[in-house]
Amino acid sequence: MTIPIKDPRRKRELLKLLQKLGLADLSAVNWSLLNLALTHPSISSTDNYQQLEFIGDAVVRLASAELLLEIYPHLPVGEFAAIRSILVSDRFLAEIAEQYGFEMYLSMTPNVRVDKYGQVSRLADAFEAVLGALYESTKNMDLVRPWLDPILAEKATQVHADPARQNYKDALQEWSQKKYKLLPTYKVQQNEVRDNENERFMAEVWLKNQLLGKGKGATKKASQQAAAKDAFYQVVADSTSRNQESSEINKIS
Amino acid sequence: MTIPIKDPRRKRELLKLLQKLGLADLSAVNWSLLNLALTHPSISSTDNYQQLEFIGDAVVRLASAELLLEIYPHLPVGEFAAIRSILVSDRFLAEIAEQYGFEMYLSMTPNVRVDKYGQVSRLADAFEAVLGALYESTKNMDLVRPWLDPILAEKATQVHADPARQNYKDALQEWSQKKYKLLPTYKVQQNEVRDNENERFMAEVWLKNQLLGKGKGATKKASQQAAAKDAFYQVVADSTSRNQESSEINKIS
């Protein structure tokens, strides 16, 4: 399943994109796969980026996990998950794709091109598909990590340095979805008696009938993030209580 | 972050496990990493399988995607997602781990070992961590796919041959979680006027205020699976409506 490049202009276009990414050795690139990765389903319902996107979605998860383990070998698992959930998010991947002008290289019909609402989604999909094509070209990370690592590392460092950016809510959601096929729910209350503004809201996070964690914050959102972080440390990361907690949840679900 | 093996019995144990898996060339294996992958958080809150599990979770996603693309290059993306969601599920991974007796090789405290409720979760975690350790040993799939492929392929073939096994609900959930951080909801009704038993229940699947798909079935569950499949073909896989649909959802969310 590939799309051979017949038009020499297309090959030059794709070459330009890879040079922008900063790939030094292009001899290993499978150009037909790369062309497929940059073909939107509106062009062909069978030969398009959708299958490679599945590969790429796993490639970016793997590259992120490897990088995080290399730069933060002792990071608690909750922070690891919180940072990775940002690195693999559609929003961040679309942002990278936009910076490299992927929109220009993606074959799509004119009515799709003008659809601004779908842009983040299609940029993220195409970006993942390109990662898939590059991985499949060599069956390892040789064409991926050399240029992607610095981008992921910069974002990871930003997120790690500023705890408010760490998205414990997303990470907790990913965890509960994986383990129990359920999403956590949040209950937020105004805190009438408080010492300072950072305790204005109190949030609880629940999974079915199980209280996972509690948190306070100056805003509703901040209190939810604090509760999600608490949940991570209570249930997910805390090694001793871990099995009892998961047993509880197994019993009720 | 590794755990060097000091006890020669431990090395012999791990060697036996790899031989059971059917790994021919063991010279590339990083034994300290493998030991870490088979160390439960109850033994050490810092040096345990949790970080490698993050790597392995991506490794099994990637191996599954590659295998499915190889054996079913023209599979519609909905089926691709439905089959993969089963291959990467904790339940299936724990099943493989159990067959190879992972429980025996996993270092854990006695109170964890007797906790039967937590068993599926810890077997799946340890299995993913071992995949992570093997991937990290060579930085490619050389120690993973040769023995894992036949296991994944057998399951994939079973699931593909029997459409009732295909888990469109899980696949749709994974998709909506990734794209919108939301889970779909189902509405099921008894069908009073019907031609046959296979139309006894009618299900609708919704994402927020958006109807994604409809389906019928002899049981509630079957009607929900049919609705999820319909949703996949309507929203996710249908190339022309895709961007409009996602626009609608972006507008309402």
Express each pLDDT in B106-124 by its tens digit. 999 999 999 988 899 999 9
Domain final residue pick, B160, B186, B220 = B160
* ipTM of the shown complex: 0.83
Do B242 and B134 reside in the same domain of the chain? no
10 Å CB burial of residue B71 (0-12, 13-18, 19+) is middle
Instruction: Assess whether pLDDT exceeds 80 at residue B247.
Output: no
b/e sequence A218-232, b meaning 16+ C-beta within 10 Å:
eebebbbbbbbbbbb
CA distance A222 to A227: 9
Domain final residue pick, B139, B160, B181 = B160
The verdict on residue B1 lying in a domain is no
What residues in A contact B61, CB-CB < 8 Å? 57-58, 61-62
The pLDDT assigned to A241 comes to 39
DSSP A212: E
CA distance A155 to A157: 5
What residues in A contact B132, CB-CB < 8 Å? 65
* Residue B216 φ then ψ, to 5°: -120, 160
CA distance B122 to B189: 38
**Count of the separate structural domains present in chain B:** 2
Residue from the list B55, B65, B237 with its beta carbon closest to the beta carbon of A54: B65
Cβ separation B139–A136 shorter than 8 A: no
Say yes or no: B118 contacts chain A, CB-CB below 8 A: yes
Do A131 and A30 reside in the same domain of the chain? yes
Do A137 and A194 reside in the same domain of the chain? no
CATH of residue A32's domain is 1.10.1520.10
Do B16 and B104 reside in the same domain of the chain? yes
The pLDDT assigned to A19 comes to 94
The pLDDT assigned to B92 comes to 96
Instruction: Assess whether pLDDT exceeds 80 at residue A91.
Output: yes
The verdict on residue B127 lying in a domain is yes
Cβ separation A41–B239 shorter than 8 A: yes
Query: Bigger pLDDT: A181 or B137?
Result: B137
Strands B201-207 and B210-217: antiparallel
CB atoms within 10 A of CB B150: 12
CB atoms within 10 A of CB A157: 13
The pLDDT assigned to B1 comes to 66
Q: Which residues contact B235 (CB under 8 A, 6 or more apart)?
A: B212, B213, B241, B242, B245, B246
Q: What is the three-class DSSP state of A187?
A: strand
CA distance B143 to B56: 13
- Read off the pLDDT band of B192 (50, 70, 90): confident
Q: Do A124 and A40 touch, CB atoms closer than 8 A?
A: no
Do B152 and B178 reside in the same domain of the chain? no
The pLDDT assigned to B2 comes to 77
Do A59 and A175 reside in the same domain of the chain? no
The verdict on residue B2 lying in a domain is no
Structural domain harbouring A41: 8-160
Q: What is the three-class DSSP state of B207?
A: strand
The pLDDT assigned to B151 comes to 97
Looking from the CA of A234 toward its CB, the CA atoms found within 13 Å total 18
The verdict on residue A135 lying in a domain is yes
b/e sequence B211-230, b meaning 16+ C-beta within 10 Å:
ebbbbbbeebebbbbbbbbb
Predicted TM-score (pTM) of this structure: 0.83
Say yes or no: A65 contacts chain B, CB-CB below 8 A: yes
pLDDT in tens, B162-189: 877 778 888 888 888 777 878 889 999 9
CATH of residue B206's domain is 3.30.160.20
Do B198 and B120 reside in the same domain of the chain? no
Q: How far is A4 from chain B (nearest CA, A)?
A: 16
